[in-house]
Structure 1
């Protein structure tokens, strides 16, 4: 029997453990490693013979899908699908899956790493000490105890952030297009509109997906309403926060600082303006990277490809039901 040819373009798949790779190989999959991320044009030139792609931050658009004559599944090694043309994939009966739930705990943890890191000036203090300086009082920070945390998007990750915040003794506000009244009562969190959230919060943390309605959701109008002592945290998607507006607001002192892990273009240009500001804590989109999350993500990806190869229903597809409803 012919093997199922799988393109591995994700730069992180298989880096932590070979168990997902071995699972695929045991199930008649031939893995070809060609690490991305690729543009749509680049991927279109190599996609032709593959049954599956394990995608990272690749752009999978119309050019690629037109050339993907044998492709049956796009398995995202992560959860963000904003770079995949899902309607076109669905039209061509190509299943799109993601590793839903694999990194929720990891990203929630990392959100608090950024909150604590920027509140206490951990990075500049460490750099200062490495230079042989002893400047403790210079890095006097603020407590997060009894501060107000505003969560933009109370989905799975947002809820986990809220639980951690309550453990730190923080007051929690949230904004979402859908209320979670049971969660509000159980965890003593309060639903407010977005403008109220940015006005009242000491820390604003973003946890919504990037879709047309959330692009530039946080812009100058919201930033100028924040407390001058407040901080913005973004571990979601870079384009949810207008980066030019954020730079302008930080430069004017309209908020105290920002901790960002995601960017509208990744990697950003070397002269990216936000990197020049002393009140910005920036990291290279590592919020989802832990040993545990990488292992879970890899296994979900492998299992989804195997399900589709066997003709079974994938567990974490965003378009399987629509494909089945359209029939052959």
Structure 2
């Protein structure tokens, strides 16, 4: 029998919801491009309810305990005295989310002799030391595509919020004012701007596709160039590197995985090449941007705005400078954990567990590390070198 250790974020301050704003979710036939949605044998939850917090348990308890497995769910994940640290030596499976990551460092993996499977409930497994997972024969899997569109929608929202300077205008209304001049002093139209994406995988391409109707000029860079028909359909300009692309753009959106090639990519040097008054949106990973360089770029006016929902560490401390820097539109890491996304990544987590517990093969597109090496989506997105 397996010991499953699941780390989820805390319940709402007022307790787990007893009712919801909407009844149910729209039905999706498949993901864009045709990939099938998660297909577990059954679901023990109602889609559209809160599953990603501790009480939601990703809808896994009944399924696991009916088969004699043990499920421990906690939000206490940091430090040597955390429940996660105490339970880890006995865990066969660890489940975590990018929004509240249980960092599986090399040291922690060395303390987990029974660990065989690490599941990301969502997408993005850089909170796992992939090299250590490879050395220890641990399978790493994530629910690929489960929240890609959720993140893409969030990024488009943030681009519009920054360019139109929505947040200060909303604050004026909440404070009882009607200061139109103040509300529009930093507000522009997105139309006609040059918008570039660093990486054009599922999320990056979805953002570009959603921005095309705004009559903008679209750019991208990626180590895997898109098919010519996609470039022609969306009017994309390809650039061989971020260094080549960002000077041409008014808005840059970051959608790359974190690995040694992208860590601290947006440093003082690269930011200095961007147009004065440009905007940067990062819903990928915080460490792709140099934390203090972002603050300096906003204070100097090199950047007119920065928005994102990724921080390091997560959760970010109350004194994190991104909380108080000027002209930001930061949110906690919520872009990929809408109630819609939760239904998909909870179902996908169960699908992965069903396959693994039965001794079967996990879907290829869900795999990051398997069989002692990068596999599936991991072979496309990561490099087998030390993870930051």
TM-score relative to the length of structure 1: 0.91
1:41 offset after TM fit, Å? 7.6
Separation in structure 2 between the aligned mates of residue 104 and residue 301 of structure 1, nearest angstrom? 15
1:160-175 mapped onto 2 (5 Å cutoff): 160-175=206-221
Separation in structure 1 between the aligned mates of residue 236 and residue 190 of structure 2, nearest angstrom? 16
Greater Cα shift, 11-20 or 142-151? 11-20
- Which residue number in structure 1 is paired with residue 355 of structure 2? 307
- Which residue number in structure 2 is paired with residue 5 of structure 1? 3
1:217 aligns with 2:265: yes
1:283-294 mapped onto 2 (5 Å cutoff): 283-294=331-342
- Which residue number in structure 1 is paired with residue 383 of structure 2? none
Q: Deviations over 1:263-301 (max 9, x none)?
A: 232222322223323311111111112111111111111
- Which residue number in structure 2 is paired with residue 30 of structure 1? 70
- Which residue number in structure 1 is paired with residue 24 of structure 2? none
1:98-247 mapped onto 2 (5 Å cutoff): 98-140=142-184, 141-182=187-228, 183-192=230-239, 193-247=241-295
Separation in structure 2 between the aligned mates of residue 68 and residue 297 of structure 1, nearest angstrom? 25
Determine which structure has the larger helix proportion and give its number. Answer: 1
Structure 2 counterpart of 1:55, from 96, 112, 115: 96
3-state SS of paired residue (2:149)? helix
Q: Deviations over 1:159-188 (max 9, x none)?
A: 100100112222100111221133212322
Separation in structure 1 between the aligned mates of residue 318 and residue 53 of structure 2, nearest angstrom? 26
Separation in structure 1 between the aligned mates of residue 172 and residue 325 of structure 2, nearest angstrom? 17
1:69 offset after TM fit, Å? 2.7
The answer to whether the 8 Å contact 1:150/1:174 transfers is: yes
Separation in structure 2 between the aligned mates of residue 60 and residue 324 of structure 1, nearest angstrom? 17
1:91 offset after TM fit, Å? 2.7
Separation in structure 2 between the aligned mates of residue 104 and residue 216 of structure 1, nearest angstrom? 23
Q: Deviations over 1:141-175 (max 9, x none)?
A: 11112211111111110010010011222210011
Give me the CA root mean square deviation.
2.3
1:124 offset after TM fit, Å? 1.5
3-state SS of paired residue (1:282)? coil
The answer to whether the 8 Å contact 1:173/1:190 transfers is: yes
Separation in structure 1 between the aligned mates of residue 290 and residue 340 of structure 2, nearest angstrom? 32
Give the 3 Å change call, closer, same or farther, for CA 279–306 of structure 1 in structure 2: same
The answer to whether the 8 Å contact 1:313/1:320 transfers is: no
1:9 offset after TM fit, Å? 1.2
Gaps in structure 1 of 5+ consecutive residues: none
